[in-house]
Chain A
Amino acid sequence: MNFGLMARMFWEFFKIGLFAVGGGPATLPYLMDLTEKFDWYTMEDLTNMIAISESTPGPLGLNMATYAGFHTLGTFGGVVSTLGLVIPSIIVITLIAKFLENFNENKFVQGAFAGIRPAVTALIASAVYGVCKVSLVVQTETGYAPAVKTIVLCVIVFALLQVKRLQKYHPALWLLFAVIIGIVFRF
């Protein structure tokens, strides 16, 4: 068992737990940073991770951490990365519950979060751009080419998601639809 790698992974996910403000999707930019820093998983793996996290029970951020850890170090890796992600929460929330009665009414806290929220939206947008780039473009011998079928399906589903009546359907159902289309049309 590789303890050095395990400690490294625990530390990286600890940092994500400490700095990802805004829940599940906010972990995405950090998970993408990891693809650049380490060869633990690729951008393609990250896309699969999102799909699996969205279609299984449990919070998105936890599911992604478990999957990333598993992908790198097997079952134990999944446990290590998930614990790394939640330990900052346990510490921070316990301190707040113990010492700060009106934490979220403090004007410095409110000010900080008024700045952080739009920035997190931008960070997630930039991470999603990265996910789209690896999914909607294919590498050929001569360079890059648009993956036409994938782009068409993406645009259709995105348009359907804007229809109010269809918004109540769970992401897992859309992903099931994607599996069927992918197999039938041989993506």
Chain B
Amino acid sequence: MNEYMQLYTAFLRIGGLTFGGGLAMLPMLKYELVEKKNWITEEDLLDCYAIGQCTPGIIAVNTATYVGYKRKGVMGGIVATLGMITPSIVIITLVAICLQAFIENVWVQHALMGVRAVVCALMLNTVLTLAKKSLKNAFCYFVCIVAFLLAMFVPIPTVCIVIIAAVVGILVYAVGGKQV
């Protein structure tokens, strides 16, 4: 099997067998890429994760592109990313077709109303976990509160808030010399 095929199938397995992206994917990435294939070292993987978190986009996709690029250049990055997205496209399309067929059913409606309650609980929990991780000092709290007020009460595109926060961060940390 040539290396492009190997890249594709390795990321196909990772995408198809891990639930939840981001950190949940780390053990699986380590098993496939470090232990089984010996493509990258564990240090590379952690570096790559750090880059994945400091760049826009889905962290798992960023990791796939990075590893693919390191192995086989631009085409390698593309092939690895296609492997990562194939399971999502196939599985979600099948589930969405099923849901569409049954959504009028009264029992499915009851089930979905229950699911909504738990989605709220899970998402609130995500916010709480993120807040604990990202709010480390007064500056973080300040940015977070201002961004929240902007998002809630000012009709401003989400992108603008992210760009303003980046500029403020650069001014305070890089130009102002505050320690990260």
Contacts and interface: CB of A to CB of B under 8 A. Distances in A.
Interface of A: 15, 17-25, 27-30, 33, 44, 47-48, 50-63, 66-67, 70-71, 75, 78-79, 82-83, 85-86, 88-90, 92-94, 96-98, 103-104, 107-126, 128-129, 131-132, 135-136, 147, 149-151, 153-155, 157-158, 161-162, 170-172, 174-175, 177-183, 185-187
Q: Which of the listed residues B16, B88, B107, B171 has the most CB atoms from chain A within 10 Å of its own CB?
A: B88
A85 B125 CA distance: 25
Interface of A: prevailing SS? helix
Given A19-B159, A93-B51, A178-B114, A50 B88 contact: no
Contacts of A89: 55-58, 61-62, 65, 81
Chain B, interface residues (CB within 8 Å), range:
35 or more
B99 interface: yes
Interface of B: 15-22, 25, 47, 50-62, 65-66, 69-70, 74, 77-78, 81, 84-85, 87-89, 91-93, 95-96, 99, 107, 110-127, 130-131, 134-135, 139-141, 143-148, 151-152, 157-159, 161-162, 164-175, 180
Contacts of B17: 57
Contact of B77 (A19, A54, A93, A181): A93
A135 B117 contact: yes
From DSSP, what is the main secondary structure of chain B's interface residues?
helix
Nearest to B140: A118
8 closest Cβ contacts across the A-B interface? Answer: A115-B169, A182-B114, A59-B21, A111-B173, A119-B165, A89-B57, A187-B113, A111-B174
Contacts of B65: 89-90, 93-94, 97
Contacts of B167: 112, 115
Given A66-B93, A90-B78, A115-B170, A54 B148 contact: no
Nearest to A105: B50
Nearest to A18: B56
Contacts of B50: 104
Contacts of B165: 115-116, 118-120
B61 A118 contact: no
Contact of B66 (A86, A93, A113): A93
A77 to B, nearest CB: 10
A185 B122 CA distance: 20
B86 to A, nearest CB: 9
A84 to B, nearest CB: 11
Given A78-B89, A123-B161, A115 B173 contact: yes
27 contacts: A23-B59, A47-B119, A50-B119, A52-B92, A58-B88, A58-B91, A59-B15, A61-B58, A89-B58, A90-B81, A93-B66, A93-B77, A96-B51, A97-B65, A103-B54, A119-B165, A121-B130, A122-B143, A122-B144, A123-B151, A147-B113, A153-B114, A154-B124, A158-B124, A174-B118, A175-B118, A182-B117
